Amino acid sequence: MNNSTPSAGVYANGNDNKKFKGDRPLCSPSRVLHLRKIPSDVTEAEVISLGLPFGKVTNLLMLKGKSQAFLEMASEEAAVTMVNYYTPVTPHLRSQPVFIQYSNHRELKTDNLPNQARAQAALQAVSTVQSGSLALPGAPTNEGTILPGQSPVLRIIIENLFYPVTLEVLHQIFSKFGTVLKIITFTKNNQFQALLQYADPLNAHYAKMALDGQNIYNACCTLRIDFSKLTSLNVKYNNDKSRDFTRLDLPTGDGQPSLEPPMAAAFGAPGIISSPYAGAAGFAPAIGFPQATGLSVPAGLGPGALGPLAITSSAVTGRMAIPGAGGMPGNSVLLVTNLNPDLITPHGLFILFGVYGDVHRVKIMFNKKENALVQMADANQAQLAMNHLSGQRLYGKVLRATLSKHQAVQLPREGQEDQGLTKDFSNSPLHRFKKPGSKNFQNIFPPSATLHLSNIPPSVTVDDLKNLFTEAGCSVKAFKFFQKDRKMALIQLGSVEEAIQALIELHNHDLGENHHLRVSFSKSTI
């Protein structure tokens, strides 16, 4: 985009409109997003609320006459996460579907445009999200900031419990705000309660802001949410009362029914959501996922109900991807498309997807080498890898990941021509999540330009590491060792794409003295 200030007309009639044939994000990623089919009576705050869970919204342009808007996020990463989230699950504003894709514009310049005062006022109102207080339409804005040392554990009480709420339902709702590590449910003072631990206190903060006071089903099952005094949960058993999503090896416990696939008692009773969008017995579900982020309050509803909670039908039949659910783990195979056929290898995909789970097998298609199948250890890991990696750039192309219809990756038969394109990694020593309760479960972050390096031997210097990354074709912007532990460091590279390629190339690189470099994406910057 050139630096001249575009008129509203340039935006409205520009080449963004030509991309709307298939409602898929076709342009390369940009931090500016183009929204279509916006209801005419929608407010600026409602449009902004679509972006809030993913990061700071830095600008907004509404084209009400054309039912369109442009939303600028603070970073391209936030925009990619947002598009990835909304591609499989269309967001709704005022009960109408809204379509989102990347804009051709790299930034939004609106200084000289008319009618921008309201948009700027709305942005001002919600910029408090940075200090931790989500200014939602209809929500109090005096919730204060996220405090140092705030717990990642939420205490949840469910009032008006006219219908049973299962651990799965809680997991599905709260997962929209971040990685849920553990859940314990119990009854106390005749009230159904739960403790839920996130990977990061910030996730807990946003979930509390958005969900406290909401109803799971219309007019009943109201969530009351507080921070727990506990900072970590200790789960002994994986069953329908408690679950540790980082420990697949826990027993179900004596006398506890294990989760057999037909969770009939939990899901078959009248009144539980029995189809994706219908609430039984006249109780329509009330929280806006996956329809919306749960932050956009539809017209005419108070902050008490937020559009339908679509518990996917797979969850209803017990096919949720739940460790220990036995029998039907959901799909753990991903179809990865739009790869660079000249540069991609099974090992490269193994290392990259291995950041988000243990990769068992990889198959690059013999006749169409830009496509590959990646089989993860379970459906949770497949979902996590898909959410974090789809839409990222790798070797100059925007990678796409979706769930495959295949249940497993087949190895080639003896003597079958394969050119080494299918590899079995199930016994690889490089799996990050094999160890039950591994700290790696708590350090899963989206791709970022800053990498976390560990297992560095004492003799290796700053220059050694900088040179290693430079030789791999990266531009090193900043570097620092951890003060307390020189075995670890952060390195900031020129772009997220560079960092992804460096991770593929240099994770497990032999630094000598029997030390192999470990590389992960960092949530910090230098």
Q: What is the pLDDT of residues 23-50, one digit of tens each?
A: 444 578 999 999 999 998 888 888 887 8
Asked if the structure places residue 102 within a domain, the reply is: yes
Which of residues 124, 144, 164 is at a domain's end?
A: 124
Element (H, E) at 198: strand 191-198
Does one domain contain both 120 and 213? no
Asked if the structure places residue 93 within a domain, the reply is: yes
Length of the chain: 526
Q: Nearest to residue 202, comparing CAs of 125, 123, 133?
A: 133
pLDDT at 434 over 50: yes
pLDDT at 148 over 70: no
Out of 153-162, 209-218, 221-230, pick the least confident.
209-218
pLDDT digits (tens, 9 = 90+) for 336-389: 999 999 999 999 999 999 999 999 999 999 889 999 999 999 888 898 899 899
pLDDT at 437: 66
Does one domain contain both 478 and 429? no
Distances (CA, A) of 175 to 99, 143, 330, 373: 23, 22, 17, 25
Structure tokens, 286? 């009330």
Place of tokens 């990463």: 77
Q: What's the mean pLDDT in 443-451?
A: 90
Whether omega before 290 lies within 30 degrees of 0, making that bond cis, reads yes
Give the list of residues 6+ apart from residue 11 with CB closer than 8 angstroms, or none. 61, 63, 70, 105
Which of residues 211, 244, 277 is at a domain's end?
A: 244
Asked if the structure places residue 25 within a domain, the reply is: no
What is the per-residue DSSP string for 23-53?
SS--SPP-SEEEEES--TT--HHHHHHHHGG
Asked if the structure places residue 271 within a domain, the reply is: no
The side-by-side arrangement of strands in the sheet containing 333-337 is 400-403, 333-337, 372-376, 359-364, 422-424
pLDDT at 342: 94
Domain tally, the chain: 4
Does one domain contain both 465 and 431? no
pLDDT digits (tens, 9 = 90+) for 379-413: 888 988 998 999 999 999 999 999 898 889 999 88
Asked if the structure places residue 423 within a domain, the reply is: yes
CB 193 within 8 A of CB 118: no
Asked if the structure places residue 302 within a domain, the reply is: no
pLDDT digits (tens, 9 = 90+) for 50-82: 887 777 889 999 988 889 999 999 899 889 888
Per the rule left: phi > 0, alpha: psi between -120 and 50, beta: everything else, 67 is left
* CATH at residue 362: 3.30.70.330
CB 331 within 8 A of CB 407: yes
Does one domain contain both 391 and 470? no
pLDDT at 485: 87
Structure tokens, 436? 């039950």
Does one domain contain both 166 and 114? no
Asked if the structure places residue 327 within a domain, the reply is: no
Q: What's the mean pLDDT in 442-453?
A: 90
Which of residues 217, 244, 271 is at a domain's end?
A: 244
* Residue burial 142-168, b: 16+ Cβ < 10 Å; e: rest: ebeebeeebbbbbbbbbeebebebbbb
- Please, what is the angle between helix 167-174 and helix 201-211, to 10°? 100
CB 477 within 8 A of CB 499: no
Does one domain contain both 51 and 112? yes
CB 83 within 8 A of CB 29: yes
Asked if the structure places residue 220 within a domain, the reply is: yes
Does one domain contain both 399 and 356? yes
pLDDT at 513: 85
Does one domain contain both 351 and 430? yes
Distances (CA, A) of 255 to 240, 242, 266: 12, 14, 17
Place of tokens 């997807």: 353
* DSSP tag of 151: -
Does one domain contain both 450 and 488? yes
Q: Nearest to residue 421, comparing CAs of 474, 368, 469, 466?
A: 368
Does one domain contain both 428 and 337? yes
CB 525 within 8 A of CB 507: no
pLDDT at 475 over 80: yes
Does one domain contain both 115 and 157? no
Report d(CA 519, CA 472) in Å as an integer: 14
pLDDT at 23: 42
Report d(CA 169, CA 65) in Å as an integer: 40
- How much of the chain exceeds pLDDT 70, in percent? 75
Domain of residue 512: give its range: 445-521
Does one domain contain both 170 and 103? no
Number of separate helices (H) and strands (E) present in the chain: 12, 23
